[in-house]
Amino acid sequence: GGPGGRRQWRNLKKIVESEGYERLPIDAPTYSSLEAPPSLLPVKKFCDLTGLQAKYTDPKTLLRYHSARQYALVRLAPDHTVQELLKFRNATVSLK
């Protein structure tokens, strides 16, 4: 670490230099060269209100929710609030 036992801050360039990647063979795998196929697992969906894993989606607003308690809030939410919540996950929808 640094003075007084604190860690010294280093930017990414310094970290990469200190790892010695330039000494590795050209075909050696590194964090910056690894490629992985897409996951076979389904994408997890999260509740727009709580951040917990969402089990349900409201068909009217398309908001995702975790339980019946959140569903009651989703159904009572004004349109402008629903639009703001959808913006957080880039899923804007025009409500009718």
pLDDT of residue 2: 55
Q: pLDDT tens across 6-60, in order?
A: 778 888 788 777 777 778 887 877 767 777 788 899 989 999 999 999 999 999 9
**0.75 cut: is pTM over it?**
no
- Mapped onto helix, strand or coil, the DSSP state of residue 88 is helix
How far is the CA of 26 from the CAs of 6, 33, 59, 77, in angstroms? 35, 10, 51, 56
How many C-beta atoms surround the C-beta of residue 33 within 10 A?
11
Cite the DSSP H helix spans in the chain.
Answer: 12-19, 68-76, 79-88
31: left (phi over 0), alpha (psi -120 to 50) or beta: alpha
pLDDT at 22: 76
Give residue 33's pLDDT. 72
